[in-house]
């Protein structure tokens, strides 16, 4: 490695003004006046590439560390904030097995969002391997270009994840509040969000003309090939718009949730879910605060780290927030027992180890803690082992006394006809379906 000719005169001139003895490299490495004068001169006399080559030479000579030191582990943060939203998405689809609600468009949107986040995370890890977190003067120039190319792709993926997550939440609102006032307003807000985000993604993808200037302009040698928009202004514009939409999404369901016939505990739970959205807004605002540092940085491969990590945390929390209402039914013991049969056995062992009395009944006569009976004539009772089987004049499924203490807070039993599976005439529909859904 050799010092570029444009930098030699600057180094010699700065040495002449230094108080360090001639040839004392260690003294020059710690002389702030020498470093400042040499840096100012080299910046004016040399190109960006020659300046970085000179900085690489002098920094290596002084034994400077090539890597920046962070107060956190970037790789660990990326892995964690990929794993926990993925778990939330898996639980969301498992919860569908315990609900009457089927997979709908909001679920498909969150799948697209999660798939994009996985790609997002993979590109981040690739970026780390390329040199993000390493001082730019220690990275080969072609690799620096590749780093900004990956950043370009992730810039678009960020918009896709944010869009799909918000659309999923809005579709969820539309589904559970379908028959309440303001339905058309929610649909209009959804359309507005889609249009504005797609427009923002398009502006980001074509912020430079030709497009390759987005990842090649860093060295200052390609500006005559086209033009680029102000990156900081673009980031702030998109960020402020996203924050405004996030605030609107948080406020949108509050009037309906407040009006639902929920007890205090369930209302607190509902508002706690919305609190996660407030955390996302805080992270978004903090990300905008560090954007300025990255955009004007002379060491962007180091300063880009905080910006990218905050973006990752933001979109991961968004996916997690969108899944929370759907996975809350899994907190109910009965729903867990439907998914994990071994939990039922564990539950029985903890309550005296009693075996299921239905195990002695024929296969066609078993049901979930109910008595199935059929026949005609007056009601009669006959015993079979320790279990009484009641013969009624109408084939139906009724709750036993064993089930009564487990009645839901909504005061209705989901009875079904024993043979056809249809709703029993005695089934009482809940007065407010939205309240039941949120409560779950």
Following DSSP, what letter does each residue of 347-382 receive, concatenated? HHHHTT-PPPGGGGS-GGG--SSEEEE---SS-EEE
Chain centre distance of CA 329: 20
Q: What is the CA radius of gyration of the chain?
A: 32
* Residue positions counted in the chain: 440
ω into residue 351 within 30 of 0, thus cis? no
The binding site comprises: 24
The binding site for heme comprises: 24
What would the two tokens of residue 373 be?
A: 């009976």
φ/ψ (deg, to 5) at 64: -70, 145
Q: Which of 215, 90, 79 is nearest to 146 (CA)?
A: 215
What gap in Å lies between CA 39 and CA 35, rounded to an integer? 6
What would the two tokens of residue 419 be?
A: 């043979």
What gap in Å lies between CA 7 and CA 58, rounded to an integer? 11
Following DSSP, what letter does each residue of 243-293 receive, concatenated? HHHHHHHHHTTHHHHHHS---HHHHHHHHHHHHHHHHHHHHHHHHHHHHHH
């Amino acid at each position: 490695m050799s010092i570029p000719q444009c930098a030699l005169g600057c180094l010699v001139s700065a040495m002449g003004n230094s108080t360090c003895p001639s040839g004392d490299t260690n003294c020059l490495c710690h002389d702030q006046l020498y470093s400042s004068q040499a840096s100012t001169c080299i910046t004016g006399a040399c190109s960006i590439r020659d300046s970085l080559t000179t900085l690489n030479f002098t920094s290596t000579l002084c034994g400077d560390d090539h890597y920046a030191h962070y107060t956190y582990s970037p790789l660990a943060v990326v892995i964690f904030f990929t794993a926990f939203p993925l778990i939330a998405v898996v639980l969301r689809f498992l919860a569908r097995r315990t609900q009457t609600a089927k997979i709908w468009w909001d679920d498909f949107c969150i799948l697209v969002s999660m798939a994009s986040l996985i790609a997002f995370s993979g590109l981040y890890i690739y970026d780390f391997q390329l040199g993000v977190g390493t001082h730019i003067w220690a990275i080969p120039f072609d690799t620096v270009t590749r780093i900004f190319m990956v950043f370009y792709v992730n810039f678009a993926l960020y918009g896709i994840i944010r869009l799909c997550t918000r659309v999923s939440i809005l579709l969820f609102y539309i589904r559970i509040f379908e028959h309440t006032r303001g339905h058309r307003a929610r649909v209009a807000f959804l359309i507005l969000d889609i249009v504005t985000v797609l427009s923002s993604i398009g502006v980001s993808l074509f912020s430079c003309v030709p497009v390759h200037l987005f990842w090649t302009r860093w060295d200052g040698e390609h500006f005559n090939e086209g033009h680029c928009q102000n990156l900081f202004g673009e980031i702030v514009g998109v960020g402020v718009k996203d924050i405004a939409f996030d605030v609107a999404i948080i406020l949108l369901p509050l009037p309906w949730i407040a009006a639902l016939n929920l007890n205090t505990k369930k209302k607190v739970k509902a508002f706690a879910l919305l609190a996660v959205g407030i955390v996302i807004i805080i992270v978004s605002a903090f990300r905008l605060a560090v954007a300025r540092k990255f955009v004007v940085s002379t060491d962007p491969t180091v300063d880009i780290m905080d910006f990218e990590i905050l973006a990752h945390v933001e979109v991961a929390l968004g996916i997690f927030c969108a899944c929370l209402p759907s996975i809350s039914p899994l907190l109910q013991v009965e729903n867990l027992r439907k998914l994990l049969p071994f939990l039922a056995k564990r539950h029985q062992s903890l309550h005296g180890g009693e075996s299921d009395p239905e195990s002695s009944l024929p296969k066609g006569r078993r049901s979930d803690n109910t008595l199935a009976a059929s026949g005609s004539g007056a009601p009669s009772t006959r015993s079979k082992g320790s279990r009484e089987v009641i013969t009624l004049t109408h084939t139906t499924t009724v709750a036993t006394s064993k089930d009564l203490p487990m009645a839901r807070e909504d005061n209705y039993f989901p009875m079904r006809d024993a043979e056809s599976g249809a709703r029993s005439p005695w089934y009482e529909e809940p007065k407010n379906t939205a309240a039941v859904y949120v409560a779950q």
